[in-house]
Amino acid sequence: MSLLTNVMDHSLDEGYAEAAARKEAAGGMPKTLRAKLGLAVGLVLAALVVTVGAVQARVAAPVVAKEREELIDRIDRETTAADELEGSVDELRAEVSARQREALKQSGGSDRAELVGLLSGATDVHGPGVKLVVDDAEESSSGGDGDPRETSGFSDTGRVRDRDMQRVVNGLWESGAEAVSINGQRLTALSAIRAAGDAILVDNKPLVPPYTVLAVGDGDRLSSRFQNSADGLYLDALQENYGIRTSISVEDDLRLAAAPRVTVRTAQPKTEKGTS
């Protein structure tokens, strides 16, 4: 009975009781006046820092908001100015192109001038030809390692690449096309077809698939020669192996707008012998 009585009266072990007493003594409120003053000063300083920070943030908030609004207004003004300048550039380019076409018409030998304007892309053209549409695959898949089409920067083998369109256009020229455009962009001897990321650019203007290629020429002959050429067979291989969608049709009358600008930077006209 004495053992049971001892257990009931002393249910907490003496070691635990001593540890609890030490913890309470160490974590309790300071007992000396100096310690209490130190704690009070610390609390006052912490409250002061928090208060000063809050006041400064409240005072600076209107300034920050005003600066933000001024920055937004400046961005809007600069954007508007840039748009206006871009519009002016387009108008000047159109005026220069119009004067170039007028100069070609007024120059000696009108037939030759018209031919030069047609081949250079400086004049509007119309006539029979072919319409070729090239589009990405409906369900494309990523190519495996070692696939030569993976090196072009596109992650999807079902995408039409810039070099694909280069081969298509070169094949049309070689097959007898006299004027070519892609999605309304007239191609000239100075035109470039490049890639920027996953986008195809023609003269630095991005195109959106499907890519519609119009080529003026002898329609039946142009279509037959292109489809039997190496570039036409290349396009067939893209369709068979990667699901690239293509269609070609002979058209009775195609209309191609003039190129927006034809700027020659280094070439000079050849002068006749004996003239200055």
Distances (CA, A) of 255 to 126, 207, 252: 4, 19, 10
Per residue of the chain (276 residues), what is the pLDDT tens digit? 565 566 556 555 666 667 666 666 655 555 667 777 777 778 888 888 888 877 777 777 777 777 888 899 899 999 999 999 988 888 887 787 777 667 666 655 555 556 666 666 767 888 999 999 999 988 764 444 434 344 444 455 788 999 999 999 999 999 999 999 999 989 987 888 998 877 899 988 889 899 999 999 999 999 999 999 999 999 999 999 889 999 999 999 999 988 776 666 676 767 766 544
The rounded distance, in Å, linking the Cα atoms of 237 and 72 is 52
Domain boundaries, the chain: 30-106, 125-142+153-256
Q: What is the pLDDT of residue 93?
A: 74
What contacts 265, CB < 8 A, 6 or more positions away?
none
Instruction: Record the pTM.
Output: 0.55
Q: What is the pLDDT of residue 149?
A: 46
The rounded distance, in Å, linking the Cα atoms of 161 and 226 is 19
The rounded distance, in Å, linking the Cα atoms of 90 and 95 is 9
Q: What is the pLDDT of residue 259?
A: 79
Q: What is the pLDDT of residue 253?
A: 92
Q: What is the pLDDT of residue 41?
A: 79
Per-position DSSP letters for the chain, written without gaps between them: -HHHHHHHHT-S-HHHHHHHHHHHHHHS---SHHHHHHHHHHHHHHHHHHHHHHHHHHHHHHHHHHHHHHHHHHHHHHHHHHHHHHHHHHHHHHHHHHHHHHHHHHSS-HHHHHHHHHHHT-S-EEEEEEEEEEE--SS-----TT-GGGGGS-S-TTSPPHHHHHHHHHHHHHTT-SEEEETTEE--TT--EEEETTEEEETTEEE-SSEEEEEES-HHHHHHHHHHSHHHHHHHHHHHHH--EEEEEEEEEEEEPPPS----SS--PPPPTT--
Q: What is the pLDDT of residue 55?
A: 76
The rounded distance, in Å, linking the Cα atoms of 251 and 130 is 5
User: Where does 140-259 have alpha helices with state H?
Assistant: 162-174, 219-228, 230-242
Q: Name which CATH class applies to 125-142+153-256.
A: alpha beta
Q: What is the pLDDT of residue 173?
A: 93
Q: What is the pLDDT of residue 129?
A: 95
